[in-house]
Amino acid sequence: MAEEAKWYVVHTYSAYENTVKNTIEKTIVSRGLQDTIYEIEIPMETVTEYTDNGIKTYDRKLFPGYVLIKMVMSDEAWHIIKNVRGVTGFITSGSDRPVPLTEAELINLGLHKREIVLDYKVGSLVRIIDGPFVDVKAKVLSIDLDNEELEVSFELLKGQTSTMKLRLDQVEAI
């Protein structure tokens, strides 16, 4: 059943996110819903402020008033979540039924991580497979996994080198 579970967004009263999460977690245990409701998340980010008084680091909610729940949607689960104190409802697309988040939305929210595995590293030789320099061999100067880019250098004319930024999918290992 876990493969049927999808992520849904629940709207809460302001500052009720933690209360809603705790209440749902207790309800899961008391009603034996572990095979229906799998995860409850309040997306957070760490903030570092540099002030005259020094450095201050704290966590803050990315989406105040919202809780994310990974669950198998059923009438029972929907009714239980909807009636938790502090919940105003599920996010819907105009109908009464909740709409699960898409894979792209999950990645953007940081709930699903994409692992990038490269068969080359800084200093490796690669072949450019897309763009105006197709089939040119280049040396990897840097790799930026966050932006899915790399910088390469290659010989343009006799003895003249050029550098260029490319997407990770524009090169292949040699």
Which tokens sit at 5? 């579970």
Rounded Cα distance between 170 and 174, Å, is 13
Q: Evaluate if residue 93 carries a pLDDT over 60.
A: yes
Does the predicted model carry a pTM greater than 0.75?
no
CA nearest to 111, candidates 68, 71, 81, 146? 68
Could you tell me the domains of the chain?
Answer: 2-109 (3.30.70.940), 125-173 (2.30.30.30)
User: pLDDT band for position 136 (50/70/90)?
Assistant: very high
- Give the tens place of pLDDT for each residue, 98-124: 999 988 888 777 665 556 778 889 999
The pair of structure tokens assigned to 120 is: 């080359």
pLDDT at 35 over 80: yes
Query: Which CB contacts under 8 angstroms, 24+ apart, belong to 20-29?
Result: 20/67, 20/84, 20/85, 20/86, 20/87, 21/67, 23/84, 23/85, 23/86, 24/67, 24/69, 24/81, 24/84, 27/80, 27/84
